[in-house]
């Protein structure tokens, strides 16, 4: 079995911009403008020069986006995640990321589709989140 991707395996260039670029909002982005504007004013917390922000979208549901502080562009998470209570390691976070890494880990069920619960690994690459792999949580007996 291949080990899970590690943050150290996906280093990010950690040279934040001296000034954050103005936020560029598309019609879809405008639905979340308050949260995105707040994120665009912060210091980077993900992949070198991004701010990753999340918000609830239901009782156990989480959604979010990354704001590129160099360009002002928004990249949404590929899906909403929920139901992380099944994580085998007891981790209750649904999203794991670091400022010095391009790796993003989403834990839980994708878009509340039954049977799709696990660890989902993505890499930020040029304002796109590229799927690396998904590992299902072990079934409980």
For the chain, the average pLDDT equals: 86
Under DSSP, the state recorded for 127 is: S
Q: What is the mean pLDDT of the segment spanning 68-83?
A: 91
Q: What is the pLDDT of residues 8-67, one digit of tens each?
A: 999 998 777 789 999 999 998 899 999 999 999 999 999 999 999 998 877 778 889 999
H/E stretch holding 131: strand 129-136
Task: Tell me how many domains the chain contains.
Answer: 1
The answer to whether residue 116 is domain-embedded is: yes
Give the range of the structural domain holding residue 90, as residue numbers without chain letter.
19-131
The answer to whether residue 47 is domain-embedded is: yes
Q: What is the pLDDT of residue 14?
A: 78
The answer to whether residue 2 is domain-embedded is: no
The answer to whether residue 106 is domain-embedded is: yes
The answer to whether residue 108 is domain-embedded is: yes
The answer to whether residue 65 is domain-embedded is: yes
Read off the tokens for 135.
Answer: 């590992």
Q: What is the mean pLDDT of the segment spanning 121-132?
A: 96
């Amino acid at each position: 079995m291949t080990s899970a991707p590690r943050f150290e395996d996906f280093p990010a260039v950690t040279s934040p911009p001296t000034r954050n670029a103005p936020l560029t909002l598309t019609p879809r982005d405008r639905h979340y403008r308050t949260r995105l504007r707040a994120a665009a004013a912060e210091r980077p917390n993900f992949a070198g020069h991004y701010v990753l922000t999340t918000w609830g979208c239901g009782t156990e549901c989480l959604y979010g986006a990354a704001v590129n502080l160099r360009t002002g562009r928004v990249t949404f998470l590929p899906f909403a995640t929920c139901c992380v209570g099944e994580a085998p390691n007891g981790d209750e976070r649904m999203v794991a990321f670091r400022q010095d890494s391009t790796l993003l880990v989403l834990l839980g069920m994708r878009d509340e589709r039954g049977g799709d619960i696990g660890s989902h690994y993505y890499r930020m690459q040029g304002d796109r989140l590229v799927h690396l792999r998904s590992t299902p949580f072990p079934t409980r007996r």
